[in-house]
Amino acid sequence: MKKILLLFSAVGLLSLTGCNNDDNFDQDTIAEVFEVANVDFNPNDYSVVLPLDPSLYSGDMILVYRLTDDPDTDLDVWQLIPRTLYFDNGDEIDYDYNFTQEDVLLYMGANFDLPDVDAAYTQDQVFRIVIIPGNGSNFRKNANSLDQYKDYNAVIKKYGINDSKVKQLSVK
């Protein structure tokens, strides 16, 4: 009888040590997508601030994609930024971003005077901001880390995001 009680005690102890309370690790953040349209990069600073509501949690990750099109098919293409566009004459345009828990800053630069940039690259731009929870994001820290996020459609599929329910943001 002592051996059976000892066995039950050991099994009970092992089952209790497997429990934890990590419920608040990522504050129950879910992956979601926001879209902001009609973004104009104006000559005064070539940047735009997008407020986030609700705020991010400390472990969350942001991905930003810029809408372009495939000239062969006329389909929408979402390009992960940072992104550099190269032109035949040697000119380059850069789109980049940074973020805090409250907002995302989109900005652009070039290797020439920005006022000379064609309006097709500075006016009426559309961006999608993907929030990925810090807990369980499976972000692999290696040389190919960014490659796993280049394909917008693969990212929303991986995180179970409903692309038809994209929330709209407005420029601050």
Q: Give pLDDT tens digits along the chain (172 positions).
A: 555 545 445 444 444 444 444 443 334 557 889 999 999 998 888 999 999 887 888 889 999 999 997 777 878 899 999 999 999 999 999 999 999 999 999 999 999 888 888 999 999 999 999 998 876 445 445 445 557 789 998 999 988 888 888 888 877 6
Peptide bond preceding 71 in cis form (omega within 30 of 0): no
Peptide bond into 133 cis (omega under 30): no
Is the pTM here over 0.85, yes or no? no
In a domain, residue 9? The reply is no
Q: What is the pLDDT at residue 144?
A: 53
Q: Is residue 159 part of a domain?
A: yes
Q: Which residues contact 25 (CB under 8 A, 6 or more apart)?
A: 59, 134, 135
Q: Is residue 7 part of a domain?
A: no
Boundaries of domain holding 140: 23-168
**44 in a structural domain:** yes
DSSP state of 82: S
Residue 27 in any domain: the answer is yes
Structural domain count of the chain: 1
Beta bridge partners of 73: none
Is 16 a domain residue?
no
